[in-house]
Amino acid sequence: MKVATHTLGCKLNFAETSHLQRRFIEAGFNIVSYKESADLYVINTCTVTSVAEKKCRNAIRQALTQNPSATIAVIGCFAQNDARQIAAIPGVNIILGNDTKHQLLEVVQKYWDKQGMKGEGVQEPCIITPEPRSFVPCYSGDDRTRTFFKIQDGCDYYCSYCAIPMARGRSRSATVAETVAVAREIAATGTREVVLTGVNTGTFGKYNGETFIELLRELDKIEDIARFRISSIEPNLITEEIVDFVASSRAFLPHFHIPLQSGSDKVLKMMHRRYDTALYSRRVEYIKKAMPDACIAADVITGFNGEDNHEFESSKQFIASLPISYLHVFPYSDRPNTAALHMDEKVPVKVRKSRGAELHILSDAMRHAFVQSQMNTNHMVLWEHTCHGNVGGKPMMQGWTENYIRLQRPYEEALAGVVTPFEISESTIVENFACDD
């Protein structure tokens, strides 16, 4: 029997989808492309923005086009927060929230035993969406050189714009020892780089009496893994101790993703963020002092309630004043059951998008400046197995530097999965490379 999966949203979702795929393969199923006819289509959803929810509906329609008789399972954050809305979409058979999506294999098998693969006689979808409480460590498996490793789930912060705490529950994780055991399992696959992911990664161990820095120290001892990256960490949680550790560690790389959301203290307060611009600036400056070549990314939301023209310009100037390497920009989107829904000073959607476009231009300029600052210097690059097109008739391979610049060189099979020194130059840079951290 054939299973096709489609993943929306964050790298956490991609890690979880890979975990589900491995379970189905172990049970004798075949994983096929989402563009092919399958017996089961699985859509792992996101609820960060309304756009992500529209993509879920499109994925459902695409699946039914491929096979109108297929079983459709919608799982994850959108399913958790609005199962009834999904249940109203024709063709959906199974809806699982974040606490039950890891039981998808068993739920599908029971569903087919009861209803048959075509779901004859089904009046309503099978819906299981209890409050998320469990934790299942997962890692992605599509790339032989790099994997995304889920070390934490949930969030206790309840920022006024964010629906994720409702979708994923409170912060939770495994113990340091349990997490290291899974990391060693990853190492046994030959993976060379591991990206640590979570909803609020820096709160790892909060309810186990352990800390994130304790985990980093233990992971650094796994010599079979050449490189670790921290995918995202809140500015109030990235301590000087963590920065100093990364700067001197064996395997952790000088690459940080630190959500900012706004460069306006007024807006940050309305967002219920746990820092101000002064703290954020200190964190960035401390990182660059410890690691001058470090790459620093920032998330920014445009058009949040109360962001008038003055606040936006102030925010933009603050961002431009920092040695940030690039931005992830998101126009604000109203989410159900969040405090922001009831706030005044709404910004028109058209203005949100136009401000987002401005910040995209700023991000491009910052990334260009960062890359230019690294020009004609040698960096350690992990080369990937995949062939990426041709230059001058020669097949090319690509890889990431330790500080997250994408480079290319003529393909050599012996270099795939190997970390080597390589010079950054105009000819070796991959133009307009996409940052997917």
For the chain, the structural domain boundaries read 2-128, 135-257, 378-423
Residues 6+ apart with CB under 8 A from 413: none
Report, as an integer, the average pLDDT of 93-104: 96
Please give the pLDDT value at position 127: 93
The CATH class of 2-128 is alpha beta
Element (H, E) at 79: helix 77-81
Q: Which two tokens stand for residue 304?
A: 């949040």
Please give the pLDDT value at position 436: 66
Place of tokens 């008739």: 393
- Among candidate residues 316, 320, 322, the one with its CA nearest the CA of residue 284: 322
Instruction: Domain 135-257: give its CATH code.
Output: 3.30.750.210
Tell me the pLDDT tens digit for each residue of 3-39: 999 999 889 999 999 999 999 999 999 999 999 999 9
387: helix, coil or strand?
A: strand
CA atoms of 405 and 295, how far apart (whole Å):
9
Range ranked top by mean pLDDT from 55-64, 137-146, 284-293: 284-293
Please give the pLDDT value at position 120: 60
Please give the pLDDT value at position 300: 98
Report, as an integer, the average pLDDT of 52-79: 92
Tell me the pLDDT tens digit for each residue of 370-429: 999 999 999 999 999 988 888 878 899 999 999 999 999 999 999 999 999 999 999 999
Pairing of strands 40-45, 2-7: parallel
Residues 6+ apart with CB under 8 A from 436: 11
Tell whether the model's pLDDT for residue 254 goes beyond 90.
yes
DSSP state of 261: B
Tell whether the model's pLDDT for residue 121 goes beyond 60.
no
Please give the pLDDT value at position 374: 97
Dihedral of the alpha carbons of 182, 184, 186, 191, in degrees to the nearest 10: 160
Which ranges of 149-239 would DSSP assign to H, the alpha helix?
A: 164-168, 176-188, 212-219
Residues 6+ apart with CB under 8 A from 411: 387, 394, 395, 396, 397
CA atoms of 81 and 85, how far apart (whole Å):
9
- Alpha carbon 299 to its chain's center: 12
* Helices and strands of the chain, counted as H and E runs: 13, 17
Report, as an integer, the average pLDDT of 356-376: 97
- Among candidate residues 299, 291, 38, 39, the one with its CA nearest the CA of residue 162: 299
Tell me the pLDDT tens digit for each residue of 258-277: 999 999 999 999 999 999 99
- Among candidate residues 257, 252, 240, the one with its CA nearest the CA of residue 296: 257
- Alpha carbon 297 to its chain's center: 13
Amino acid type, 122 = V
CA atoms of 296 and 287, how far apart (whole Å):
9
In Å, how far are 276, 280, 337, 338 from 273, measured between CA atoms?
Answer: 8, 11, 17, 14
Please give the pLDDT value at position 119: 62
Which ranges of 232-377 would DSSP assign to H, the alpha helix?
A: 240-248, 265-271, 277-290, 309-321, 349-373
Q: Which of 53-57, 94-98, 123-127 has the lowest mean pLDDT?
A: 123-127
Other CB atoms within 10 Å distance of the CB of residue 76? 28
Tell whether the model's pLDDT for residue 144 goes beyond 90.
no
In Å, how far are 101, 102, 374, 401 from 38, measured between CA atoms?
Answer: 19, 20, 47, 38
Residues 180, 186, 190, 191, CA torsion sign: negative
Strand partners, 32: 4
| Per-state percent for the chain, helix, strand, coil, to nearest 5 | 35, 25, 40
Burial, 276: exposed, middle or buried (Cβ in 10 Å; 0-12, 13-18, 19+)?
Answer: middle
Tell whether the model's pLDDT for residue 122 goes beyond 70.
no
Please give the pLDDT value at position 1: 92
Report, as an integer, the average pLDDT of 58-86: 93
Tell me the pLDDT tens digit for each residue of 302-347: 999 999 999 999 999 999 999 999 999 999 999 989 999 999 999 9
Tell me the pLDDT tens digit for each residue of 171-205: 999 999 999 999 999 999 999 999 999 999 999 99
Please give the pLDDT value at position 383: 97
